[in-house]
Amino acid sequence: MEKLVAITACPTGIAHTIMAAEALRRVAAMKGHDLRVETQGSEGVKTPLSDDDIAAASAVILAADIQVDESRFEGKPVTRVSTARAIRDTEAVLDAAVAAASGSAHAANGSAHAANGSARAAAPVASAPAPAAGAAAPELAASPAPVEKGLLVAVTACPTGIAHTFMAAEALTRAARAAGYEIRVETQGSVGAKNALTAEEIQKADAVIVGADTHVALDRFAGKRLLQTSVGEALKKADQVVTRALSLPAPEDAPDLGQQVAQAKAQLKDKQSGPYKHLLTGVSFMLPLVVAGGLIIALSFVFGIEAFKEPGTLPAALMQIGGQGAFTLMVPVLAGYIAYSIADRPGLTPGLVGGLLASQLNAGFLGGIVAGFLGGYVARWIRDTVRLPANLEGLKPVLVIPLLSTLVVGLLMIYVIGKPVSAIMTGLTDFLSGMGGTNAVALGALLGAMMAIDMGGPVNKAAYTFSVGLLASSTFTPMAATMAAGMVPPLGLALATVIARNRFTAQEREAGKAAAVLGAAFITEGAIPFAAQDPVRVIPAAVLGSAVTGALSMGLGCGLRAPHGGVFVLAIPNAVSPLGVYLLSIVAGTVVTALALMVLKRPVAQPAAPPPARP
């Protein structure tokens, strides 16, 4: 144990001064050192060091961003760091001070060690006795094989992401190492995620710890032992948190169809990268607004198609909520979360503002996509390029990045991007609105086939994103074709397991029941486990059935206002119209898929019946 003293100081003496002092005290106590800390700032000196404290100290730590008088520490080894370093690399700072103290002590005792060395050189060295004749030579002790350490992964996050986030990460790291585990900690703060966990690290981890006082997405941890706690508990009771995480029961090894589908969706999400991943992030956050807005607009039509035009009525209020509320936010949220996916939190402001400008300039969802990518990449470039002094670094996420990135995106949207994209969007909307006959059938068949060909993969999501984006322009027929076609693969497989039982194993027939529910809920991924077992036969059958459904839906002019929910939204009046032929198109595609499977698949060998018991 070493006796240490420290001074922390920043220009204001409020934030970094106190946080650095607290971090040094906490880590010193955990490592068994005696530390006295003096803080200096605009309000003067707090907890001043006494002459006795300084005299007893073996080393001094100066964690300061301003000039500090060092005259009273003459003759003491001094470790000088910034307050930011003391907050984030506390253990390393303390270790450096302890090493400096040890080096000073060794230098002071150098002559005594030399004298002792001479005396030891003159003294005889006793040798080990030789083994007796005929006795076996003693075996050399085998070096123990290195023990592979387990792995933990963790996420820490507090609302500001400055102090407690990094202190909790440090505490969890020490506690995990004390328990014999390696650990990787992702910190989420106001300037984005640092040390982001990879899919491989999560897969190898024995357990996951989330110490957060803000929202942390948990989808990527599906199937792992997961402990959720506050950032404060992760900081103050890190050893208990690690123990609790490791004592959680292991997930079950035999997943049912629903779990297989969840795992398949997680794997598809992990494979997403680059612009495609950013686009789907924006769509996923936009989707609830589109669903809620579309259904509320449909409810207003219950009272009559034009009833909302009467001011002060309930239909008018419903239209205001759905059309002027939820649908107005649709494009800004799309753009904001595309930018968020690219640049983390710094991208939100330019993305949201750019998306709102896209709506005002009639650039629609295409303008929102452009604004989102532009806002994200501009914010990320500013975040990674602009360098400020340590004591001004906190201004980047709240002033520098939002101001500069929003200014750049806003000016480009107004003067460069808005009008051309608006013209493209208007042309696309007019083309789709005037489409009929063979063209509509062909587009519906194409969208339907895209929904089934990879069942939740990039092609599926491209068709879905295209259809969802058109809802903001009051173009509803592509969305109807897309959702109907997406329901067909699992529904067709479920029907096939009933009418062609000899083509499926007993396990597949049982899974067919769950696939029916997933298909009815518009979860195309419900067909993935079947496709993985027999892709050559299942995928063509699914594509054929979905193409038929998409072609019928578009050709018959079916429109859908809510982009998700499957058959469960059809009970909402006017959510889809015309309802009867829309249901007919789903049934037709389901039957086509089932019949195609009957033709393509061969009967499977059934287990032989046990011989009759002898009398």
Average pLDDT over residues 166-178: 87
Residue 588 banded pLDDT, cuts 50, 70, 90: very high
> Which among 285, 418, 304 is positioned nearest to 358, based on CA atoms?
418
In contact, 156 and 208? CB cutoff 8 Å: no
Say which residues have a Cβ less than 8 Å from residue 503's Cβ, sequence separation at least 6.
Answer: 496, 597, 598, 601, 602, 603, 604
Average pLDDT over residues 566-583: 83
CA distances from 172 to 138, 234, 277 (A): 44, 7, 31
The values of phi and psi at residue 65, to 5°, are -110, 5
Between CA 118 and CA 110 the distance in angstroms is: 13
For residue 606, the model assigns a pLDDT of 58
Q: Kindly report, residue by residue over 88-105, the tens digit of the pLDDT.
A: 788 888 888 988 887 766
Residue 107 has pLDDT above 50, yes or no: yes
Average pLDDT over residues 394-405: 85
For residue 374, the model assigns a pLDDT of 95
Residue 180 has pLDDT above 90, yes or no: no
Between CA 458 and CA 269 the distance in angstroms is: 10
- Tokens 């609105």 -> residue: 433
Radius of gyration of the chain (CA): 33
Between CA 605 and CA 386 the distance in angstroms is: 67
CA distances from 213 to 160, 210, 579 (A): 10, 10, 46
For residue 135, the model assigns a pLDDT of 40
When the pLDDT of each residue in the chain is averaged and rounded to a whole number, the result is: 80
Residue 271 has pLDDT above 60, yes or no: no
Give the global pTM.
Answer: 0.55
> Which among 555, 596, 278 is positioned nearest to 452, based on CA atoms?
596
CA atoms within 13 A on the CB side of 337: 16
For residue 560, the model assigns a pLDDT of 87
Between CA 578 and CA 559 the distance in angstroms is: 7
Q: Which tokens hold the place of 367?
A: 């303008």
In contact, 62 and 78? CB cutoff 8 Å: yes
Between CA 454 and CA 607 the distance in angstroms is: 32
- Please list the active-site residues: 158
Average pLDDT over residues 200-217: 86
Average pLDDT over residues 582-596: 94
For residue 110, the model assigns a pLDDT of 52
Report the alpha-carbon angle 33-37-40, nearest 5.
160
In contact, 315 and 303? CB cutoff 8 Å: yes
What are residue 208's DSSP bridge partners? 153, 226
Between CA 263 and CA 372 the distance in angstroms is: 29
SS3 229: strand
Average pLDDT over residues 108-132: 43
Q: Which tokens hold the place of 1?
A: 């144990």
Please give the full DSSP string across 421-468, using - where no structure is assigned. HHHHHHHHHHHHHT--THHHHHHHHHHHHHHHHSSSSHHHHHHHHHHH
Q: Kindly report, residue by residue over 51-75, the tens digit of the pLDDT.
A: 888 988 999 999 887 777 788 888 8
Lowest mean pLDDT among 192-206, 311-325, 482-496: 192-206
For residue 121, the model assigns a pLDDT of 41
Average pLDDT over residues 286-308: 80
Q: Which tokens hold the place of 464?
A: 């879905």
For residue 115, the model assigns a pLDDT of 42
Q: Kindly report, residue by residue over 358-392, the tens digit of the pLDDT.
A: 989 988 888 999 999 999 999 999 988 888 776 67
For residue 565, the model assigns a pLDDT of 78
Q: Kindly report, residue by residue over 522-552, the tens digit of the pLDDT.
A: 888 788 778 877 888 889 999 999 999 999 9
Between CA 40 and CA 47 the distance in angstroms is: 9
Residue 128 has pLDDT above 50, yes or no: no
